[in-house]
Structure 1
Amino acid sequence: MEMTRRTILSIGGAGLAAAVAGKAWGQSLPTILNQRYPDPSVEILDPSFAKYRIYSASVEKLATGMRWAEGPAYFPEERCLLLSDIPNNRIMKYDEVSGTFTVFRSPANFANGNARDREGRLITCEHSMTRRVTRTEKNGSITVLADQFEGKRLNAPNDVVVRSDGTIWFTDPLFGINGNYEGEKAEPEQATTNVYCLDIDGKLKAVITDLVNPNGLAFSPDEKKLYVVEWKGTPNRSIWSYDIGSQGAVSNKVKLIDAADFGALDGFKVDRDGNLWCGYGSNGALNDDATSSDVAGRKTYELKGSSESLDGVMIFDPDGKPIGFIRLPERCANLAFGGPKRNRLYMASSHSLYALYVGTQGAG
């Protein structure tokens, strides 16, 4: 719009401000969930967490419209975040400069976990139908990195992390082939649900074979420890800690975290201080007995843990002690640190994408 005296008078002062702001910013503004500072949804469970809460930072809702948001990965070169919308069989892209939210890839072979490798390429776990781990090259072509182990198809690659030596580590539970909502129901060919390491020479090794449906995974800042979520097999969801040897050998299995509050540990990331920022929500466990409701006197089996009190991000210190909680209106499945200074926490949560600036940075 050409700003003449006539157009200025016609749109008025408020209209001019809006027009100029729209042209200058060129982006959609996020939705602020809480107007007060400090944001009451950022809860301090231990005084040690206080330094990570920025007093004047709020949880922001950036985008919505997904069916099950997962696998966020940040790409600093383009200042964008990629994340999976599994049931819709697509990968979405959030541009943090323009604020736009668009489809990056569709179909996406029911992609789940994503990661950026050391050369800035996209590593993706396609957890159904193709059941493989791929790399998107700079020219847009796709390279298959792993789709079988010992001559049999992988189960459903779930989450992935790239170590500084270039090795790629990923979990392989059954979720993607358990039904038809997030892919295609199929019979597993592997006898166990493993954690794999893909060497830079292309050799695939099963480094952990005794976890039932391993899920999220991450390394400590010095990469001497590997943390893995076990979805099932213990009374509650757990995070196990392993020592990593000089040649990538895994040893000394120790339970670091036990979600005894019926929380659903899922994807997580580690900050530079070694704290674990974990996607959280109800694990879906039901009470043993039915309770009466106010609707027509029906009896229902309710959750053991309240979704309203569990949905969000739980932060644990390196010893496994809960120190903070970010309360969200939706269950958080996975998260990633992003932004130019790696201090913006992106949270992929059910239908939506949320963000919060924090007083730390992602490790790595």
Structure 2
Amino acid sequence: MSSSAASRTRARGARRSDDLPVPFPHAGGVLLADQAQLDPMELLHGLVADLRAAGGRVVTGARVQHVSVIGRPTVRWDGGRMSSDTIVLATGAPTVDRALHFARLEPQRSYALAFDHPDPPDLMLLSAHGSSRSVRDAPGDGAARRLLVGGEGHTVGRARHEQGHLDRLREWTAEHFPQAVETHHWSAQDYTSPDALPRVGLLPLGRGRVHVATGFAKWGMTNGAAAALAVSGQILGDPVPWAQRLHRGRGRLPAAVGMARINAGVAAAGSLELGRAALKPLPKHVPEGEGAVGREGLLPAGRSTIDGRTCTVTAICTHLGGVLEWNDADQSYDCPLHGSRFAPTGEVLEGPATRALALRDDDHS
């Protein structure tokens, strides 16, 4: 983080925990000193402003599909391309995967709710046991503040009823914050490595000019910053000593055990989804706001009706052929193998897949 971005963040209301009141009584924990809370969007805006001031360019709404192997490193996305002396891929799961990162990462989804509340606690809380729960406040409309509650993480594509995770968060909030009125809900996707450390280093066949950073394990505010320092040190020829642990200093046995666990889960989930799709015929009609995956013809198919539009797609992930599952919370098709996600109309939402699903039928009626 640049000094100017950091100073702007502090000036816009970051608060320290040693200035806050005693913990909320339902938390069952202790208040840690030297903690600070900030609005990540304010930090992002500051970083973008610094980048542009240094002559950088920001391109949004683009999905990276390829990085060249020969010649000057060139990134290609759906609709354009850009060349650079150095490229850093920090795309969640690397969309250009020459090091089999998809086999070394476990994709996780987690959920969050925002509430209007007359007096949200001035605290950041994180559960230490049982089902994960995190609590903090955030700016609301005008001078008001909102209560944020998050948790209920699970492996992507392996929950039969994602909406149930949101419902459990709502029930917990109603018990502990009965005055809370829900205003928003959303979910996020993160990736965890076998040893829980970020995976940061050079991408094979990149001639030392293509870097990758992933595996932040839901701690992007800290692990993302650590990865940025490690990568920038490599690029500028001034490596930070502790970054060697991220680049290559991993214990072989724990990493091997972790990878074996991840890939055993992949194999089991793939077999389970394939069996379900083979046994269950695809419904001819699905209600508004819903979707389903089942057997239709030779290949598994998915059918959904969203905003009056019914679409049928081939429900096979374009990454490595996993049979997809319908996500009833996000209205998407999710892959239980490596976490790729697709819109009801087949477009890619999350990698490592880069190609859309085949559209079998599109009924606008």
Q: Please report the TM-score for the alignment, with normalisation by the length of structure 2.
A: 0.24
Answer 1 or 2: which has greater strand percent. 1
Say which structure is richer in helix: 2
